Amino acid sequence: MTHVLTLNSGEQLHYQLAHRQRRSVGLKITATGLVVHAPKRISQAELEGIIAQKADWVRKKLAAMLANQVPAMRWQHGEALLFLGQNMTLAIAHDLQSKAVVHEPGFLFVALPQPQDAKLVARKVILWYKKQALQDFTRRLEIFSSKLGANFASLTLSNAGSRWGSCNSRKEIRLNWRLLQAPPHIINYVVCHELAHLKEMNHSAKFWAIVASLCPDYKMAEKELKSLSATLHRI
Ligand SMILES: [Zn+2]
């Protein structure tokens, strides 16, 4: 059930209240907002006093969550997609046959017999991304591995939830195809990071020195990648 708490400042806090078999009051921020878990016997006044004390924390967490919320992709005509950090508009057209996806500056053209079928549109576009990612990442790996003077064995595209890349002792590199949406300097950073593992299979100071030699602005790129993460996982 949703409750509203009016703070001394006049500000209103909305929260979902659930009574639980517990001794203390627990607050958490979920996708739907503030959820309060309270012991069964607590009075409303006591409960509201505790929530009011944590108002700053709640405000901060809610703001952070809103900033990270990215609207879900609906795969409709006119929606925005990202490619190497640039916006492109998804243009979906009806055609009697499913056509190859065409990329022109600012646009991605998709034509198929079922233009309303979001799943089919998504599948076509994601296949296109993967194909481009394989070409793009291979080229970057080749450039930076020759700078580094170490060879990688293979590149595989990954679909991992949170990892952007990996490199194992067999020198096999995996990179998340979603990175192709990111600006080039961020892709370069991930490529350099994984290549540096060819020489150092750890995250030691020596490892970061190798990353820095290939990619001097890696710290900025790493931060940017973190803040972009939710956006890149939209598809
Ligand atoms: Zn690493």
Tell me: do 104 and 141 sit in the same domain: yes
Compute the distance from residue 192 Cα to the ligand 1 centre, in Å: 10
Compute the distance from residue 202 Cα to the ligand 1 centre, in Å: 7
Strand partners, 94: 112
**Is residue 170, in this structure, part of any structural domain at all?**
yes
Tell me: do 192 and 150 sit in the same domain: yes
Give the count of domains, the chain. Answer: 2
Compute the distance from residue 85 Cα to the ligand 1 centre, in Å: 23
Question: Does residue 79 contact residue 96 with C-beta atoms inside 8 Å?
Answer: no
Question: In this structure, what CATH number is given to the domain that contains residue 173?
Answer: 3.30.2010.10
Tell me: do 42 and 88 sit in the same domain: no
Compute the distance from residue 206 Cα to the ligand 1 centre, in Å: 12
Tell me: do 19 and 135 sit in the same domain: no
The secondary structure of residue 38, as a DSSP letter, is E
Tell me: do 111 and 35 sit in the same domain: no
How far apart (Å, rounded) are the C-alpha atoms in residues 161 and 7? 39
pLDDT tens figures, 176-203: 999 999 999 999 999 999 999 999 999 9
Question: Does residue 18 contact residue 42 with C-beta atoms inside 8 Å?
Answer: no
Compute the distance from residue 168 Cα to the ligand 1 centre, in Å: 10
Residue 71: predicted pLDDT: 81
Q: Which residue from 124, 103, 130 is spatially nearest to 112, judged by alpha carbons?
A: 124
Tell me: do 205 and 123 sit in the same domain: yes
Compute the distance from residue 209 Cα to the ligand 1 centre, in Å: 13
Residue 64: predicted pLDDT: 81
Compute the distance from residue 222 Cα to the ligand 1 centre, in Å: 11
**Is residue 73, in this structure, part of any structural domain at all?**
no
Pick the last residue of a domain from 39, 68, 97: 68
Tell me: do 184 and 223 sit in the same domain: yes
**Is residue 12, in this structure, part of any structural domain at all?**
yes
How far apart (Å, rounded) are the C-alpha atoms in residues 29 and 21? 20
**Is residue 75, in this structure, part of any structural domain at all?**
no
Compute the distance from residue 27 Cα to the ligand 1 centre, in Å: 34
Compute the distance from residue 70 Cα to the ligand 1 centre, in Å: 27
Tell me: do 98 and 52 sit in the same domain: no
Pick the last residue of a domain from 68, 94, 111: 68
Tell me: do 9 and 117 sit in the same domain: no
**Is residue 29, in this structure, part of any structural domain at all?**
yes
Gyration radius (Cα) of the chain, Å? 24
Question: Does residue 38 contact residue 55 with C-beta atoms inside 8 Å?
Answer: no
**Is residue 74, in this structure, part of any structural domain at all?**
no
Pick the last residue of a domain from 23, 45, 68: 68
pLDDT tens figures, 42-57: 999 999 999 999 999 9
Could you tell me where the DSSP H helices lie in the chain?
44-53, 55-68, 118-148, 184-196, 205-214, 218-232
DSSP SS3 for 165: strand
Compute the distance from residue 197 Cα to the ligand 1 centre, in Å: 7
Q: Tens of pLDDT along the chain (235 residues)?
A: 788 898 888 888 889 999 999 899 999 988 778 999 999 989 999 999 999 999 999 988 888 877 777 788 999 999 999 999 999 999 999 999 999 999 999 999 999 999 999 999 999 999 999 999 999 999 999 999 999 999 999 999 999 777 999 999 999 999 999 999 999 999 999 999 999 999 999 999 999 999 999 999 999 999 999 999 989 999 9
Q: For residue 11, what are the domain limits?
A: 2-68
Helix axes 205-214, 184-196, angle to 10 degrees: 140
